Structure 1
């Protein structure tokens, strides 16, 4: 059992004033079976009203607008979470893919979590499964071996991918970060016929030196009728533990995006995310990341360059 105080600070900056910022957030930690939210506070620049609802996957979703002109927006999510997830390795479970076929056919949710991404390199995914030899193996064995394959064959490298990077691109690069590895693992498991979902959250630092510690993190969960949802972290080749704190779940990153939105105005935006994690004994870890945003079109780029030129002339 562990208690974590997590502060997730997201800061948007615009080099020219913008207005009518419309946003959707998934920053509310889940009350899972082995995760209890003790305290939660949300602070947003200009104090907009936040309309909270629940999405298809059971995540709490907040929607808000900032209509006034502004050059900065800060979203601060503060939480105190208790995690009681003593499971390190699942119980011995001989359930096969064939064994859960009937259950999948009765559940739209499970069927939805078996749908494949439409990719050009699906043959590479199938070749990996053939190499792993998934026939006559249990769901647990297949998942664990796929998890190990991603860990062993993809290099953890920051800065070369972004939220728009596709599974095809990751297969080509053989590099990426946690969300990239999660997407590869999902494609492998769903191709094998195992219901699997993407998980967005945090991995709190411990003495093991896990990759991705102290920042937003991503992993996957598989479904087994006997044990429910079980977490696998391909970035570290482990089953999830006490230091994995869940925010949201879905088919992929798009279903779990912590913050997404749009605005009116012509400006360059920068995004930085700071995650601070505090322990009961007073230890604290902090990591700041400048997020690589999706590139704009050449037409918008020309307009931004022109705006920057005008601003320089006025100075």
Structure 2
């Protein structure tokens, strides 16, 4: 059997514009893909303006962090990450009845092992209505994996993808009440509901090639993307926004409990009291 891989060149540019000149800033960028089973990073670099010395490390969740300080006066900050990545198709997919059962998932050993990925966070906490939805799906689906797939289908049916109606601080309950949001909101909602079922789940940040039929060498404009992974004896990755398994068009950058664990760029600065304004990330 022939496995068709993709080679993607990704350029991600983002930054801050301050209210005035700042004396110094201390920053972390999570914009670099990492080597793992279904993707190989052939080249990766992060450039900063104003120029600053950078150093890299892996954070608690395994995401590559590029840290840097700027100690000259500046009114804006720009970070550009570029990478060349080879990706593979989704591969061996679990059937709806695959994976471990509810009883095994709930054993003390598994609950203890994945404790941090079973707890609600500020953006994934759910209310009574959503808890009832999680319980109803769990009651009718014979396996955790089947329930997760049914959940993704339900959320995709109920939610409308619409940019500009939510922000990075929007939580799962807010996006559910308006039935609108973007990939970040949909992923937070799915993660929160999975955890309410007792299924360990994590939020994944990365990139998605928007056109599966693009010609070789064609340049396309996209944005950062988010999807989910759940553990049912093994980790399964799924893109609930598009209703597809994670495959060759997806590039993983980081994983965590929610967006706050994997923001592309964050930092603190010494300067005007008015908050910095993030420039468009693409």
Q: Same fold (TM over 0.5)?
A: yes
2:27 to 23, 30, 34: 23
Q: Does 1:222 align with 2:233?
A: no
Residue matched to 2:156: 151
The residue correspondences of 1:1-315 to structure 2 (distance < 5 A) are 1-87=5-91, 89-91=93-95, 93-102=98-107, 103-107=109-113, 110-117=114-121, 122-135=127-140, 137-207=142-212, 214-225=222-233, 228-266=234-272, 267=274, 269-275=276-282
TM-score, normalised to structure 2, is 0.87
Higher Cα Rg, which structure: 1
Conserved 8 A contact 1:195-1:222? yes
Q: CA RMSD in A?
A: 2.2
Distance 1:120 1:245, change over 3 A: closer
Answer yes or no: is the 8 Å Cα contact 2:46–2:66 preserved in 1.
Answer: no
Give 1:274 deviation, angstroms.
Answer: 4.9
- Mapped partners of 2:281, 2:116: distance in 1: 33
Residues 40-61 of structure 1, C-alpha deviations (whole Å, 9 max, x = no match): 1111013212232221111122
Unpaired runs of 5+ residues, structure 1, are: 276-315
1:167 CA drift (Å): 2.1
Q: Is the 8 A contact 1:88 1:240 kept in 2?
A: no
1:88 CA drift (Å) = 7.4
1:151-171 Cα shifts (integer Å, max 9, x gaps): 111111111111111222122
Question: How far 1:270 moved relative to its partner?
Answer: 3.4
Q: Secondary structure at the match of 2:23?
A: strand
> Equivalents in 2 of 1:120, 1:38: separation in Å?
38
Verify the 8 A CA contact 2:125 2:172 in the aligned structure 1.
no
Indicate conservation of the 8 Å contact 1:40/1:80, yes or no.
yes
2:105 & 2:125 partners in 1: Cα distance?
A: 28
Q: Secondary structure at the match of 1:132?
A: helix
Q: Are the counterparts in 1 of residues 121 and 257 from structure 2 also a CA contact under 8 Å? A: no
Deviations 1:256-299 (A, max 9, x none): 11111121222564333353xxxxxxxxxxxxxxxxxxxxxxxx
Preserved CA contact (<8 Å) 2:134 2:197: yes
Q: CA deviation at 1:105?
A: 3.8
Q: Distance in 1 between matches of 2:194 and 2:149?
A: 10
Gaps of 5+ in 2: 215-220
Greater alpha carbon shift after TM alignment, 247-256 vs 41-50: 41-50
Instruction: Name the SS of the counterpart of 1:273 in structure 2.
Output: coil
Output the TM-score relative to the length of structure 1.
0.79
- 1:133 deviates by 4.8
8 Å contact 1:14–1:268 — kept in the other structure?
yes
Structure 1 residue 208, shift from structure 2 partner: 7.0
